[in-house]
Amino acid sequence: MSEIKYEIIQKIGVLSTSASGWSKELNLISWNDRDPKYDLRDWSADHTKMGKGVTLSKEELAALKELLNTPSL
């Protein structure tokens, strides 16, 4: 399996941090030299290891924000 290349373009925020030091973060990341996308996943303290996550385009992130802001929640 080939190595995944990534560059954290912008650190947006930390949602939570576990006792082990891993943190769930929202970042803007370029994967394999592609255009950056918003990314939500767990990271080790030094950002050398990552957990499974989800990547979102700017439009998908805006749609998620809209959903979370609906009064029915």
Identity (one letter) of the amino acid at 57? Answer: S
Residue 1 lies in a domain: no
Q: What is the CATH number of the domain that holds 12?
A: 2.30.31.70
The predicted structure's pLDDT at residue 3: 86
How confident is the model over 36-64, as pLDDT tens digits?
999 999 999 999 999 999 999 999 999 99
Q: Is residue 43 part of a domain?
A: yes
**Considering the domain boundaries, does residue 73 fall inside one?**
no
- Identify the domain containing residue 30 by its residue range: 6-68
Q: Contact, 15 vs 26, CB < 8 A?
A: yes
State if pTM tops 0.95: no
Instruction: Give the 3-state secondary structure of residue 10.
Output: strand
